[in-house]
A and B are shown apart, each in its own frame.
Chain A
Amino acid sequence: MLDRRLVSNFDWTFIAAVLALMAAGLTAVYSATYSMDGGRHGLFVRQGYWFIAGFAVMLGAVMFDYRRLARWGYVFYGIAVVLLIAVMAVGRSGMGAQRWLPLGPLSFQPSEVAKLALILMLAKFFSEDGVTNGHTLRQLARPLALVMVPVLLVVKQPDLGTGLMMLFIFCGMVVVAGIRVKSFLTLAVTGLLAAPLAWSVFWGHLKDYQKKRILVFLSPDSDPSGAGYHVIQSKIAIGSGALTGKGYLNGTQSQLSFLPERHTDFIFSVVSEEWGFVGSLLLLLLFLFIILWGIETANKAKDRFGAMVAVGIVSMLVFHVVINVGMTLGIMPVVGVPLPLVSYGGTSAMTTLLALGLLFNVNMRRFHLFY
């Protein structure tokens, strides 16, 4: 449990940054859902409850020594895979995908939790495989195979965004765990050569709307009222915010519903429209601070497992932010990736806060001696 020495290691600026991000998120959700359910602010209130619960979970994730989790790495992974299979069997559908598991009056997305399980599993794997001078392809085969199981299950839902996110987290962790330059080049070259083949197979398995999204990303004006609508309206929303924004709750693109998915995937556009370049920049800086703080945590971690957990969580945050914001800015394809702690969504909020708790846990125990 927590002793005084640990408390003295608390980094209050990080807590403040997380709270600031949560406040920004709630503010954004309030605006994005302002004109939605007849002014009852149901989603906003619900997100508030999720945040309270999530913050408790985050504090809970600080209480114990993270090293104890290493033992459970594969177990978490196993549970996640089982849950993903369960989703396929009994999951609830929404927005054209089967992503949710009913949980009493609530429902949650196992794919979100699976990301975290994957991080713990990979952290355990890379911290114990004893390879410090770069992995060979052969050495990476096993973890890749382990990663592909949940990835395929998630893509099958279909949730392309989360699937890609898992692969990106894997890549991030592999890069830090080390990969031989030769292996990397081989992988890159074969990847490039195999791409057309893989593409045709991959393309064939995509749903129509997924194909459309990719095509539209390549040329958004080809279908301005259909699939390109999201991106165009998002760019209009962000651009029209200009330097200082239109003012809180005054975003015409947001409040008049021109912006689709505005409380989830496109919430950054709402913020940008109403707060302008200044507000958007502040939000990005907040993310940047937390991310750099996470990297510093990895740098100071006392053991390989802690460092790899931190790297995994940082990768998760970085890719979520870059892909989500890039998508709203029209420089990334439209894949359903939430902006952590800002997009509406209970499971995502819980997972993110849990991850940040773990990060904090690693950071806090960086000076702690092993007994």
Chain B
Amino acid sequence: MWYHNSVHGGGEGTADIKRRLWIIVAFVVVSFSALVLRLWYLQVVRGKYYRELSESNRIREVDIRPPRGILYDRNGVIIAANTPSYSVIFTPEDAKDSPGTVEKLGAILGMTTGDIEARIKSERNRNPYKPIRVKENASFEEVSEVEARKDDLPGVIVQVELRRYYPYGEFASHLLGYIGKVTPEQLEKEEYKGLPPDFLIGQYGIERTFDRYIRGEPGKRGVEVDAMGRQVRVIYNTEPAAGQDMVLTLDYKAQKAAEDAMGDQPGAIVAIEPRTGEVLAMTSRPGFDPNIFPLGLTPAEWAYLTQDEGKPLNNRALQGQFPPGSTFKLAMALAGLETGKFASVNGVFCSGGWFFGNRVFHCWKREGHGTVALHKAVVESCDIYFYKLGDLMGIDNIHKYSTYLGLGKQTGVGIREKDGLIPSTEWKQRVRHDKWYPGETLSCAIGQGYISTTPIQLARMVATIANGGTLYQPSVVREIRGRDGKPVASFPPVVLGEAPVKREHLQFIMDAMKGVVEEPGGTAHSAKSEHVTVGGKTGTAQVIGLGKGRGKKYQDHAWFVAVAPVEDPKIAVCVLVEHGGHGGSTSAPLAKKVIEAYLRVDEESLREKAALENITTAGGRPVLKNITGSRWKAALRNMTGIRWKSIMDEAAARKKRAAMKNVTSAAKRARMNNLSSTAKRPSLMNRTSAAKKAAMKNMTGVKARKR
């Protein structure tokens, strides 16, 4: 057929043309085969590879920061929560064809090009399609403008995230700590491996120590973008897993009282529950607002935090090592009683000074205390008595009994702390390579010289005396709760040891402490409360090497340690006011405020209690009289007692779950609406109706029992 000339071929033959057609056929076969082979190679052999390329072309994976676990006080008051905030996220690769995007974005966000580029460069080994947070906590105005100019800003995404929020600002901030970006060095460590490079972790305090519980797990959001880097839609959205909540040992009221009492004075307050070792309050001054850390510190803020001579980041309650001054006389008294040496010293005459060695050791009371026995020596803080007692017992006995009370070594609270120092002959030899001189014992006997302690050690010393000699490891967390509100881990009290001392000796010291506050010659009348029996001991620690009377800076440190109620101790407090002068006048009133607040006998609590009295029952149902709004809330907070607490905890957990749901759904809504509406802030303080109902139920119960 091919080579057969058409019968109708006419004048011109076509045979030669048809003979050559095979060349075209051959060309077609070869070239089409090449195309099909190439198609097979690209689509079938390497299909998976190209599928991945096309996915990374279009999908920008942004991690979503998880909400950190909520921190509650022991009664369910939220003291660290989360609040929605806007993050502006940018993928530089999406804007590479649109020069000027960084400048435009910077103009909206109030950042320079340099700021944004620094953010981009801060992540090492970055996947080129990895979006970067260029601004956290952007304002609503900024976000609105970014959204409005979306088409002009390729590669820019706005995301709603939950940001750590401390509703009370500078409140127990040294204990709570703060969060910050995980550093490259930290990412190398096992604990932080696998976290996104700009993840926020606890960098200080409880936030750091318990980070692995409260951290949560980041979510992932896959956003589809077009070739212009514009967001088209969300392809997948793995919600982040919230961190576990923690119930702290803190008592909101006690902490608040401590914060208020401290004011702007440098120093620290620690309060401990004597029968468990739980830390009820801890404050240190100068302080800081932990809210500023995750937002990125300004250079001025950073300079203040790290270079100010007041060392605001230093937690004085745990890391401040000061001579305990006369508060140490409590340990001295215990040693005297246990060794029996007090009997030899009792009846000593204090003339205001004692010649020892080649110098005169003075009593703080230059005119002298007259005849002194141990009780009076503690109550009136007679130095001469303790010089003589110390001299008789020797430094090693002092060391032994101080150590029983937990002085001179870290308490084990779990947050960075210092040891302090209780010297001994062995220590002197080992560290100073020298023998102990008897004159050094005299300084130590009144809490000066080599001796140094931290405020938490002194608080625990008092707690140990008050609870009959059980040395607890102070704790700051009671319980960790899963996201369902059920306990995951609880922290029962940890007993470090029982001081091998006689109960009546401790009781003797308790009586003396009560005398300090209540007896005529006592040094701390300002700690006396109308509502509760307070026992305590003042201390005035000399600022070593500096003369007196040369201005505030050279004044002594004012100590006061206290316990209350004396007959049934529920709180032990240590107050230190740096350069505060006398412990009795400066520090004792602060301790009293904390005690009254914790025992709910402070003025505010009493007012609230009175308000609660106005609730009467009618027909078995509680009726509210004359109570509105904040007073009602305050009244609720005032309630104490185990049953109440457990109900409160449950209500708080329920409320928290509701709040969480609110937050996530609000955030979701905000995302959906393209941020057209402001995301709802979760109400942090607001008692929900569930809590109110629980409170009602409880109240009827109380009334019923009363009847």
List A residues at the B interface (Cβ < 8 Å): 127, 132-133, 172, 175-178, 225, 233, 235-243, 252-253, 256-258, 272-273, 276-277, 280-281, 284, 288, 291-292, 295, 298-304, 307-308, 311, 314-315, 318, 322, 325-326, 329-331, 366-370
From B27, B38, B57, A258 is in contact (CB under 8 Å) with: B57
Which residue of chain B lies nearest to A239 when distances are taken between CB atoms in the complex? Answer: B50
B196 to chain A, nearest CB (A): 25
Q: Is the CB of A304 within 8 A of B47?
A: no
Q: Is the CB of B8 within 8 A of A302?
A: yes
**Given contacts A239-B42, A302-B8, A252 and B17 within 8 Å (CB-CB):** no
From B2, B51, B97, B232, A242 is in contact (CB under 8 Å) with: B51
Check if B217 is an interface residue, CB within 8 A of chain A: no
Check if B567 is an interface residue, CB within 8 A of chain A: no
Instruction: Give chain B residues whose Cβ lies under 8 Å from the Cβ of A301.
Output: 6, 14
B74 to chain A, nearest CB (A): 54
B49 to chain A, nearest CB (A): 7
Instruction: Give chain B residues whose Cβ lies under 8 Å from the Cβ of A273.
Output: 54
A225 CA / B98 CA spacing, docked (Å): 12
Instruction: Give chain A residues whose Cβ lies under 8 Å from the Cβ of B16.
Output: 132-133, 178
B15 to chain A, nearest CB (A): 8
Which residue of chain A lies nearest to B43 when distances are taken between CB atoms in the complex? Answer: A277
Instruction: Give chain A residues whose Cβ lies under 8 Å from the Cβ of B32.
Output: 284, 288, 322
Instruction: Give chain B residues whose Cβ lies under 8 Å from the Cβ of A292.
Output: 25, 28
Of residues 610 through 664 on chain B, the ones whose CB sits less than 8 Å from some CB of chain A are none
Instruction: Give chain A residues whose Cβ lies under 8 Å from the Cβ of B96.
Output: 225
Q: Is the CB of B17 within 8 A of A318?
A: no
Of residues 56 through 97 on chain B, the ones whose CB sits less than 8 Å from some CB of chain A are 57-58, 96-97
Q: Is the CB of B9 within 8 A of A302?
A: yes
Q: Is the CB of A175 within 8 A of B58?
A: no
A190 CA / B50 CA spacing, docked (Å): 42
Q: Is the CB of A318 within 8 A of B43?
A: no
A217 to chain B, nearest CB (A): 14
Q: Is the CB of B28 within 8 A of A235?
A: no
Instruction: Give chain A residues whose Cβ lies under 8 Å from the Cβ of B25.
Output: 292, 295
Q: Known contacts A302-B6, A303-B9; can you find 14 more A-B pairs with CB under 8 A?
A: A133-B16, A175-B20, A176-B17, A225-B96, A239-B43, A240-B54, A243-B43, A256-B224, A284-B32, A299-B2, A302-B14, A303-B14, A318-B24, A329-B42
Q: Is the CB of A240 within 8 A of B44?
A: no
A1 to chain B, nearest CB (A): 20
19 residue pairs A–B, Cβ–Cβ below 8 Å = A176-B21, A239-B42, A239-B43, A239-B49, A242-B48, A253-B57, A256-B57, A273-B54, A277-B39, A277-B40, A295-B24, A299-B1, A301-B6, A304-B13, A315-B24, A326-B31, A329-B42, A366-B6, A367-B8
Q: Is the CB of A176 within 8 A of B20?
A: yes
Q: Is the CB of A256 within 8 A of B227?
A: yes
**9 closest residue pairs by CB, A with B:** A239-B50, A242-B47, A240-B54, A257-B227, A256-B226, A132-B16, A277-B43, A239-B42, A240-B50
Instruction: Give chain A residues whose Cβ lies under 8 Å from the Cβ of B10.
Output: 302-303, 370
Instruction: Give chain B residues whose Cβ lies under 8 Å from the Cβ of A176.
Output: 17, 20-21, 23-24
Which residue of chain B lies nearest to A226 when distances are taken between CB atoms in the complex? Answer: B97
From B35, B43, B58, A252 is in contact (CB under 8 Å) with: B58
Cβ proximity bits B219-243 to A, threshold 8 Å, 1 near / 0 not? 0000011111000100000000000
Q: Is the CB of A258 within 8 A of B58?
A: yes
A133 CA / B13 CA spacing, docked (Å): 12
B54 to chain A, nearest CB (A): 4
A137 to chain B, nearest CB (A): 18
Q: Is the CB of B18 within 8 A of A307?
A: yes
Q: Is the CB of B43 within 8 A of A280?
A: yes
A340 CA / B620 CA spacing, docked (Å): 90
From B34, B38, B53, A240 is in contact (CB under 8 Å) with: B53
A14 CA / B27 CA spacing, docked (Å): 22
Which residue of chain A lies nearest to B93 when distances are taken between CB atoms in the complex? Answer: A225
Q: Is the CB of A307 within 8 A of B17?
A: yes
From B17, B28, B40, A291 is in contact (CB under 8 Å) with: B28
**Given contacts A239-B53, A280-B39, A304-B14, A257 and B24 within 8 Å (CB-CB):** no
Q: Is the CB of B24 within 8 A of A311?
A: yes
Q: Is the CB of B24 within 8 A of A127?
A: no
A288 CA / B32 CA spacing, docked (Å): 8
A299 CA / B14 CA spacing, docked (Å): 9
B366 to chain A, nearest CB (A): 86
A307 CA / B50 CA spacing, docked (Å): 44
Check if B46 is an interface residue, CB within 8 A of chain A: yes
Instruction: Give chain B residues whose Cβ lies under 8 Å from the Cβ of A330.
Output: 38
A313 to chain B, nearest CB (A): 11
Which residue of chain B lies nearest to A322 when distances are taken between CB atoms in the complex? Answer: B31
Which residue of chain A lies nearest to B24 when distances are taken between CB atoms in the complex? Answer: A295
A158 to chain B, nearest CB (A): 24
Instruction: Give chain A residues whose Cβ lies under 8 Å from the Cβ of B228.
Output: 257
Check if B530 is an interface residue, CB within 8 A of chain A: no
Instruction: Give chain A residues whose Cβ lies under 8 Å from the Cβ of B21.
Output: 176, 295, 298-299, 311
Instruction: Give chain A residues whose Cβ lies under 8 Å from the Cβ of B15.
Output: 132
A30 CA / B53 CA spacing, docked (Å): 25
Check if B303 is an interface residue, CB within 8 A of chain A: no
Check if B704 is an interface residue, CB within 8 A of chain A: no
Q: Is the CB of B54 within 8 A of A272?
A: no
B524 to chain A, nearest CB (A): 76
B80 to chain A, nearest CB (A): 42
Check if B568 is an interface residue, CB within 8 A of chain A: no
A133 CA / B20 CA spacing, docked (Å): 11
Q: Is the CB of B97 within 8 A of A225?
A: yes
From B35, B47, B55, B58, A325 is in contact (CB under 8 Å) with: B35
From A178, A238, A253, A288, B39 is in contact (CB under 8 Å) with: A238
A236 CA / B232 CA spacing, docked (Å): 20
B412 to chain A, nearest CB (A): 57
Check if B12 is an interface residue, CB within 8 A of chain A: yes
Instruction: Give chain B residues whose Cβ lies under 8 Å from the Cβ of A281.
Output: 36, 39
Instruction: Give chain A residues whose Cβ lies under 8 Å from the Cβ of B17.
Output: 176-178, 298, 304, 307-308, 311
Instruction: Give chain A residues whose Cβ lies under 8 Å from the Cβ of B9.
Output: 302-303
From B12, B38, B39, A303 is in contact (CB under 8 Å) with: B12
A6 CA / B410 CA spacing, docked (Å): 109
Q: Is the CB of B23 within 8 A of A318?
A: no
A241 CA / B42 CA spacing, docked (Å): 9
A257 CA / B9 CA spacing, docked (Å): 54
Q: Is the CB of B6 within 8 A of A300?
A: yes
B668 to chain A, nearest CB (A): 24
From B24, B35, B39, A172 is in contact (CB under 8 Å) with: B24
Q: Is the CB of A240 within 8 A of B51?
A: yes
Of residues 432 through 491 on chain B, the ones whose CB sits less than 8 Å from some CB of chain A are none
Q: Is the CB of A322 within 8 A of B35?
A: yes
A269 to chain B, nearest CB (A): 10
Instruction: Give chain B residues whose Cβ lies under 8 Å from the Cβ of A133.
Output: 16
**Given contacts A302-B10, A329-B38, A329-B42, A237 and B54 within 8 Å (CB-CB):** yes
Instruction: Give chain A residues whose Cβ lies under 8 Å from the Cβ of B2.
Output: 299
Q: Is the CB of A239 within 8 A of B23?
A: no
Q: Is the CB of B43 within 8 A of A241?
A: yes
Which residue of chain B lies nearest to A300 when distances are taken between CB atoms in the complex? Answer: B6
Instruction: Give chain A residues whose Cβ lies under 8 Å from the Cβ of B48.
Output: 242
Instruction: Give chain A residues whose Cβ lies under 8 Å from the Cβ of B50.
Output: 235-236, 238-240, 242
B176 to chain A, nearest CB (A): 46
From A256, A272, A298, A300, B232 is in contact (CB under 8 Å) with: A256
Instruction: Give chain A residues whose Cβ lies under 8 Å from the Cβ of B6.
Output: 300-302, 366
A164 CA / B46 CA spacing, docked (Å): 32
Instruction: Give chain B residues whose Cβ lies under 8 Å from the Cβ of A322.
Output: 31-32, 35
A59 CA / B24 CA spacing, docked (Å): 27
A122 to chain B, nearest CB (A): 13
From A252, A276, A326, B54 is in contact (CB under 8 Å) with: A252
Q: Is the CB of A276 within 8 A of B43?
A: yes
A151 to chain B, nearest CB (A): 21
A129 to chain B, nearest CB (A): 11
**Given contacts A239-B42, A257-B226, A284 and B36 within 8 Å (CB-CB):** yes
Which residue of chain B lies nearest to A177 when distances are taken between CB atoms in the complex? Answer: B17
